[in-house]
């Protein structure tokens, strides 16, 4: 199997390589791709050096699998050319997530949406993945009526330039700004462009992607996304209103038995999920599990995950693993 990785020099791309290595995804050749300015650079995968190539050259090589992590514009420009050659494309950008015939997949929830003839598979947004994984079983059992989400997102979700901005500010150095404001010792409620209602693009991703993954277009969802000067992962305060009544101990057991979820919930002993400790982990951590006393059927959760791993690379590699397990790759 030949694998191409588009965006191999980015933060998520580098993490993709690490997770592909860890998960021992087999390949006979690996084609790292990036923008023209990186072509020719060397990248080590599985102990072997590979030269960064142009996306055009990767298309000509007709790989069996192309993983995209280079933004929506690059995916829109090149994904179809890979797909036309029969390549399975797993795209980490927002380019195709809303398209009806493109499965939007969190493997633990809906890998069965992929068929052998699917060619483009969308990896959801990082904030969406870590939220839907724990709440999916709550939805199945009690029916979610409404979600109110507040995020506290790591700078790593914005990419290499944002991490550089944070560390430049810390070191008192000037440099290129990835954000419209300083991020160190600051936070801002701004994730992407604002629409006519005043919602940010990252907020609408949470709304639309959650509905699609859960197959529940009627769930009412509202979100506020906030960028904070943190590295290890995204955190989310999630308020859930369900249709059916529940017992809190049942909700807790449901979360404890959800594949890929780890419950860390003993607040009196200061135990709850934190991005510093989620870093480098593939699981989604859930804590502060409690009844919302202001609602008849309300639950509050605090959800944390490494946005570069389960929020991006791990989820994409799990999709690749699913294709291999089906013997389609």
Tally of residues, the chain: 329
Please tell me whether residue 260 binds ligand A2P under the rule CB under 6 A.
Answer: no
Please tell me whether residue 132 binds ligand A2P under the rule CB under 6 A.
Answer: no
Task: List the beta strands (DSSP E) in 74-179.
Answer: 88-91, 120-122, 144-153
Q: Which of 3, 4, 7, 153 binds ligand A2P (CB under 6 A)?
A: 7
Q: Which of 1, 2, 38, 150 binds ligand A2P (CB under 6 A)?
A: 38
What is the rounded distance in angstroms from the CA atom of residue 252 to the CA atom of residue 95?
35
Q: Which is nearer to ligand A2P, 165 or 258 (CB)?
A: 165
Please tell me whether residue 74 binds ligand A2P under the rule CB under 6 A.
Answer: yes
CA angle 288, 292, 294 (to 5 degrees): 150
Please tell me whether residue 268 binds ligand A2P under the rule CB under 6 A.
Answer: no
Residue 201 vs residues 192, 255, 301: alpha-carbon distances, Å: 5, 29, 23
What is the rounded distance in angstroms from the CA atom of residue 104 to the CA atom of residue 97?
6
Closest distance of CB 8 from ligand A2P, Å: 6
Please tell me whether residue 160 binds ligand A2P under the rule CB under 6 A.
Answer: yes
Q: List beta partners, residue 29.
A: 2
Token pair 């420009």 in the structure block, residue: 77
Question: Phi-psi bin for 16: left (phi > 0), alpha (psi -120 to 50), beta?
Answer: alpha
Please tell me whether residue 80 binds ligand A2P under the rule CB under 6 A.
Answer: no
Alpha helices in 172-325 (DSSP H): 201-214, 248-256, 275-278, 314-325
With H, G, I as helix, E, B as strand and everything else as coil, classify residue 34.
coil
75 phi and psi, to 5 degrees? -65, -45
Residues 6 or more apart whose CB falls under 8 angstroms from that of 1 comprise 26, 27, 28, 63, 64, 65, 329
Q: Which is nearer to ligand A2P, 112 or 193 (CB)?
A: 193
Please tell me whether residue 67 binds ligand A2P under the rule CB under 6 A.
Answer: no
Residue tagged active-site, from 126, 139, 181, 190 = 126
Please tell me whether residue 10 binds ligand A2P under the rule CB under 6 A.
Answer: yes
Task: Please give the residue whose beta carbon sits closest to ligand A2P in the complex.
Answer: 10
**Is there a contact between 282 and 314 (Cβ–Cβ < 8 Å)?**
yes
For residue 139, indicate whether it is catalytic: no
Please tell me whether residue 178 binds ligand A2P under the rule CB under 6 A.
Answer: no
Which stretch, 21-29, 31-39, 128-136, 308-316, contacts ligand A2P (CB under 6 A)?
31-39
Please tell me whether residue 157 binds ligand A2P under the rule CB under 6 A.
Answer: no
Q: Which of 3, 4, 9, 284 binds ligand A2P (CB under 6 A)?
A: 9
Q: Which is nearer to ligand A2P, 73 or 248 (CB)?
A: 73
Give the residue among 282, 319, 254 at the shortest CA–CA distance from 112: 319
Please tell me whether residue 187 binds ligand A2P under the rule CB under 6 A.
Answer: no
Which stretch, 1-9, 145-153, 201-209, 259-267, contacts ligand A2P (CB under 6 A)?
1-9
Please tell me whether residue 34 binds ligand A2P under the rule CB under 6 A.
Answer: yes
**Is there a contact between 132 and 124 (Cβ–Cβ < 8 Å)?**
yes
Please tell me whether residue 92 binds ligand A2P under the rule CB under 6 A.
Answer: no
Closest distance of CB 94 from ligand A2P, Å: 13
For residue 126, indicate whether it is catalytic: yes
- Residues near ligand A2P (CB under 6 A) are 6-11, 13, 33-35, 37-38, 55, 70-71, 74, 159-161
Q: Which residues are catalytic?
A: 126, 234
């Amino acid at each position: 199997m030949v694998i191409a990785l588009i965006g191999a020099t980015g933060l998520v791309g580098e993490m993709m390589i690490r997770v592909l290595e860890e998960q021992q995804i087999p390949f006979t050749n690996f084609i790292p791709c990036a923008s023209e300015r990186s072509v020719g650079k060397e990248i080590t995968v599985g102990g072997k050096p590979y030269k960064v190539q142009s996306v055009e050259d990767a298309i000509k090589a007709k790989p069996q699998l192309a993983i995209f992590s280079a933004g929506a514009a690059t995916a829109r420009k090149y994904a179809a050319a890979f797909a036309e050659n029969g390549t399975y494309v797993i795209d980490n950008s927002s380019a195709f997530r809303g398209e009806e015939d493109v499965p939007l997949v969190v493997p633990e929830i809906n890998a069965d949406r992929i068929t052998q003839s699917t060619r483009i598979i969308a990896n959801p947004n990082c904030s969406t993945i870590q939220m839907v994984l724990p709440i999916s079983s709550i939805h199945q059992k009690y029916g979610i009526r409404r979600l109110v989400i507040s995020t506290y997102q790591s700078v790593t979700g914005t990419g290499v330039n944002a991490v550089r901005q944070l560390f430049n500010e810390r070191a008192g150095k000037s440099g290129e700004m990835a954000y419209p404001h300083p991020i160190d010792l600051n936070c801002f409620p701004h994730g992407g462009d604002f629409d006519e209602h005043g919602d940010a693009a990252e907020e609408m991703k949470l709304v639309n992607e959650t509905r699609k993954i859960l197959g529940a277009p009627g769930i009412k969802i509202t979100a506020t996304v906030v960028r904070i000067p943190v590295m290890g992962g995204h955190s989310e305060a999630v308020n859930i209103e369900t249709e059916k009544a529940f017992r809190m101990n049942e909700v807790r057991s449901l979360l404890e038995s959800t594949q890929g979820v780890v419950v860390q919930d003993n607040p009196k002993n200061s135990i709850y999920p934190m991005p510093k400790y989620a870093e480098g982990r593939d699981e989604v951590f859930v804590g502060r599990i409690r009844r919302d006393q202001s609602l008849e059927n309300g639950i509050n959760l605090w959800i944390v995950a490494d946005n570069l791993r389960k929020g991006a690379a791990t989820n994409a590699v799990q999709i690749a693993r699913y294709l291999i397990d089906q013997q389609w790759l």
